[in-house]
Structure 1
Amino acid sequence: MSIGCTAPEVSKQILSQASPPETLSPVQMKEDIDFLVKTLKEVHPNMYAYMSREDFESALSKTMQACEDGNMPVEIFYRHAAWLAGQLKNGHTKVYPPKRWHDYIGKVFPLFWKLDEDKVRLYKGPYLDKRHWGATVLTINGKPALEVMRYYSSLWAREVRGYNLDIGYMVKYLWRSMALDFGENELELEIKNRNGQVERVVVKAVSIRDAFKGQKTTTSPVKRSPVTYSYRDDCQTGLMKIRSFGDAAKFREEIRTAFSDLKAKSAKNLIIDVRGCPGGNTLFSDELLGYLTDKEFTKWQKQKFRYSKMYQQQRGKHAFLVSTGSVRTVRSKPIKPAANPLRFKGDLYVLIDRRTGSTAVDFAGLVKYYKLGMLIGQETGDTMASYGDMLSFKLPNSQLAGIIACKYYETTGTTKDNATQGVKPDHYVAPLLEDTWDESDRAMKFVHELCSCD
């Protein structure tokens, strides 16, 4: 298994057991990479925002060289294309795995990983002995764990620094990748446990259906509500967990139900938890803000649009008014919340962490800028200034799908100094290693104390 610009070697045993994989010739692969790069240059407002043109050209050269090694299964070519797109470090620009990965029903290693800067850690899961929760992983089947996981994270890169592997949609892709790379039998890990002792742990593969059974994860096949709500009478505090700003009907129904309950019970405090929320539709964050304030607010202080043929084809409306290839800067119009009898008037607390992304970052940033409430937790993973509003594409030969950001956004409150930083909390409360062992939630305990909850 090689790690770096080239994809890890897929287990020959897996390929031989499965139906013959679709393969691509060197010419077909180069055509797909050419199409990808051409589309990136035509659509993205500033593809060199996080890396230099020279570094990207170097990555492109390595990718093209890898495509010269003969015919290649689509599963392997995907790694090369995804790695190249991932070099841009933009979460709204990526190549997705082959469609058949979504329907995968084989075996996986049901481990949940965290990539914390220079360490790879395991955390809680039903197939991991509790005494190994929070352990540092040194090697995976003899390969340096940090090298392996940094490679995987590069396939799904985002603006976030030290990108975590436990972000929702990544889990299933990671499990599938590891099954391909390491086989479907067992995984041998060398770990350093909580006592600092090094030991060997063997993890058996299980069916992916069993792996997800009863799991509380956004990758579970069971569709979950984008919002959950609970209430504590002892401290007159509501807790709203935002899993995503998506699923319009359910989102609107859940928040209306929640704010109706808060109103009926004359709640004093509201905790909105957007930790781990990957984002969603900004219109829903606007609606949520409408329950929290009657003040006029501006969502983004600046937007830059790149108009392309793809934009014209997929968006249509008004696109023909602008010349192809041009980049325009526009200011967002202020939003005045409509009258809302359910508007919450108590104390607001918002929980954020490194896994808070996209629209959830915009929401947290506006809460902070307009002083609507207190932010607690860690600096968000995604940044104040970012690229989004995705257009979709499909590579012509491999048929791999992907998305490319066509707009640049600056959340209101963005400055030259904080543009490449996440939204920072008013009170920094980070989880500690020992929290993994006893399943405690340090940030939630902190806010409960502020709300006088026992």
Structure 2
Amino acid sequence: MKKKTILKRLLKLIIVIVILVLVVFLGYQLFINPYRGTAENFIASLPVESELTEKQVLEDIDYTIGKLRERHPAWLENNNKNVAAVEEAYESERQQVIDDFVDTYNVIDEWRIIGRIMHQLYDGHSRISYMDEDEYYIDDFTQLNELGLPAEINGIPTEKIVDDYLEIFQYEREEYARACVDYFIENESCLEWVGVDTSDGVRFTYDTEDGKKDYHYSFVPYEQVKGAEEEDDEWVGYKIDESSNTAVFTLEECNYNDYYESTLENFFNQVNKKEIGNIIVDLRGNGGGNSYVADAFLQYLDIDGYDGWSSDVRYGNFLIHNEPYHVDIQKKENAFSGNIYVLTDVYTYSAAMDFTMLISDNHLGTVIGEASGNLPDAYGDILRFSLPNSKLGLTISYKNWHRIDQSKKGEPIEPDYVCDPKEALSKAKQLISD
């Protein structure tokens, strides 16, 4: 009897433990896990001209603010002025929809409304986006490439269009937003977002030496655009110039995978074999991705370790603080001990900006070019959602990152040598030769 009693009690204890574990697991998944209810990939948004009722627009607006309130770290921070501005914009825009007494809206209308609300957060990773499976662009980039921005679009001053765009786009630095205008006005849906009528193509008016000149464009898939750059699958590569004792490592996207690791290993093998003393890391135009690309790179350097950044991470209604960290390195054989130069421009963003910060704030190299597009003290690591009715894509940050060197809190990554980004490589080579 005694043995059976012990077994029964043990069985009851195991059952209780299992139930407790299941309760904790389900509680975490339902209320705490940042990724609860998120989408791994976006679905296509409804066509821009698709009609939405007032009720549907209000539902999508409420869904957006609801996700911000329950996922974004800023809503758990004390006296955050941007949060107050978002909440005020939400109340105002929502009331405006109710007061307008409009029977139907379209997807573009809703995109603008939510864009104005989210703009107030000044978080470049929390965005509302039109997810188009078949994007269309003006059919000729030649004039844009040669003449720069047009003075007018469909007779509207381009500066007026840019001002409207700055009020609905999500960004941290206005310099980055303005730099994106070139790409913005090439795209049909983006032009429609700021109110440009594209039903009969679009007319760009340029100021030239011979006066104003008009060009009319229709919209086509990217591969049919005249003057468009060919898409290059080689997002990572390198060139070694023994005569100048220099190796250039070019990274156009921060993809951390086997191909990156093998390319990185081959690069440093060649650098060591040829006894190269100077490495130039070209991060111009790199929009980010996985920050582990930088950690992998640093493992090949002749250093004992490096400092990382602190962060605040939102789990449910809790904001968990992670202290700054230090990474110890077990040096590789023939670790690189030469000079490092990093080339940046305003499009150096997110994980590429992190790469630059690790080099700059740890005093491991020299930064050349233009300040980064977003800030080291910024929100990031996105959660993906699709709005219930319009299917617009919504991304929301759930982490708040803090710069390694807090004496430069709130500043972008400023280069040691500021120059036109197009001349950054030449500047680096000049510094090396000097």
Aligned-partner Cα distance in 2 for 1:188–1:393:
35
The correspondence of residues 227-376 of structure 1 with structure 2, limited to 5 A, is 227-300=236-309, 302-308=310-316, 325-341=317-333, 343-376=335-368
Could you state the TM-score of these two structures normalised by the residue count of structure 2? 0.78
2:83 is the counterpart of 1:93: no
Q: CA offset at residue 424 of structure 1?
A: 1.0
8 Å Cα contact 1:349/1:375 also seen in 2: yes
Match of 2:380 in 1: 388
Aligned CA-pair RMSD? 3.1
1:341 Cα offset (Å): 3.0
> Quick one: distance in 1 between partners of 2:183 and 2:119?
14
Q: Which amino acid aligns with 2:429?
A: H
Q: Which residue of 1 aligns with 2:197?
A: 182
Which among 415, 424, 428 is matched to residue 425 of structure 1? 415
Residues 343-352 or 157-166, more deviating: 157-166
Residue of structure 1 in register with 2:112 after alignment: 79
- The number of equivalent residue pairs is 382
TM-score, normalised to structure 1, is: 0.75
CA contact (8 A) 2:48 2:108 kept: no
Question: 1:95-143: CA deviations, max 9, x gaps?
Answer: 2214xx1224xx53157xxxxxxxxxxxxx4x3276x434x53221111
Which whole-Å CA distance do the structure 2 matches of 1:128 and 1:141 have between them? Answer: 16
**Which amino acid letter does the alignment assign opposite residue 66 of structure 2?**
K
Q: Cα gap change, 1:170/1:190 in structure 2, threshold over 3 Å: closer, same or farther?
A: closer
Residue 215 of structure 2: which of 202, 206, 215 is its match?
202
Mapped contact 2:376–2:402 kept (Cα < 8 A): yes
Q: Which residue of 1 aligns with 2:96?
A: 65
Determine if contact 2:304/2:330 at 8 Å carries over to the other structure: no
Match of 2:172 among 159, 183, 186: 159
Q: Does the C-alpha gap of structure 1 residues 253 and 79 become closer, same or farther in structure 2, counting only changes over 3 Å?
A: farther
What is the aligned counterpart of 2:154 among 141, 145, 165? 141
Aligned to 1:38: 66
Pick aligned residue for 1:411 from 403, 425, 431:
403
Amino acid of the residue matched to residue 79 of structure 1?
Answer: R
Q: Which is further off, 169-178 or 265-274? A: 169-178
> Would the alpha carbon gap of residues 165 and 338 (structure 1) be closer, same or farther in structure 2, given more than 3 Å must change?
farther
Distance, in Å, in 2 between the alignment partners of 1:165 and 1:379 is 14
Instruction: Give the superposition deviation at 1:423.
Output: 0.8
On the 8 A contact 1:190/1:199 being kept in 2, the answer is yes
Structure-2 change in CA distance of 1:110 and 1:166 (3 Å) = farther
Deviation, 1:397, is: 2.3
User: What is the rounded CA distance, in whole Å, between the counterparts of 1:54 and 1:20 in structure 2?
Assistant: 27
Aligned residue type for 2:352: A
In 1, are the aligned partners of 2:301 and 2:331 still within 8 Å (CA)?
Answer: no
Partner deviation per Cα, 1:51-77 (whole Å, 9 max, x = no partner): 361464135413552475222232432
d(CA) in 2 for partners of 1:172 and 1:188? 11
Structure number having the greater helix percentage: 2
Instruction: Quote the residue 2:6 is aligned against.
Output: none
State the identity %.
Answer: 22
Q: Identify the residue that residue 138 of structure 2 maps to in structure 1.
A: 109
Rounded Cα–Cα distance in structure 2 between residues aligned with 1:168 and 1:53: 28
SS of 2:121 mapped into structure 1: coil
Return the offset for 1:274.
1.1
Check the 8 A contact 1:303/1:407 in 2, yes or no: yes
Specify the SS of the correspondent of 2:174: coil
- Pick closer, same or farther for the CA change 1:344–1:378 going to 2, 3 Å: same
Please give the alpha-carbon distance, in whole angstroms, between the structure 2 residues aligned to 1:172 and 1:137.
10
Q: Which has the higher contact order (CA 8 A, sep 6+)?
A: 2
| Residues 1:60 and 1:304: Cα distance change in structure 2 (over 3 Å) | same
Distance 1:212 1:350, change over 3 A: farther
Unmatched 5+ stretches in structure 2:
1-45
How far apart, CA to CA, are the structure 1 residues paired with 2:382 and 2:365? 30
Letter in 2 for 1:426: D
**Superposed displacement of residue 213, structure 1:** 7.3
Which of structures 1 and 2 has the bigger CA Rg?
A: 2
Code of the aligned partner of 1:378: E
Contact 2:348/2:372 (8 A) holds in 1: yes
Report the alpha carbon displacement of residue 327 of structure 1 after superposing the two structures with TM.
1.4
When residues 54 and 401 of structure 1 are mapped into structure 2, their CA distance, relative to the original with a 3 A threshold, is closer
What is the DSSP-based 3-state SS (H/G/I as helix, E as strand, rest coil) of the residue aligned with 1:412?
coil
CA distance in 2, matches of 1:171, 1:247: 28
Tell me by how many angstroms 1:178 deviates: 2.5
Answer yes or no: is the 8 Å Cα contact 1:381–1:422 preserved in 2: yes
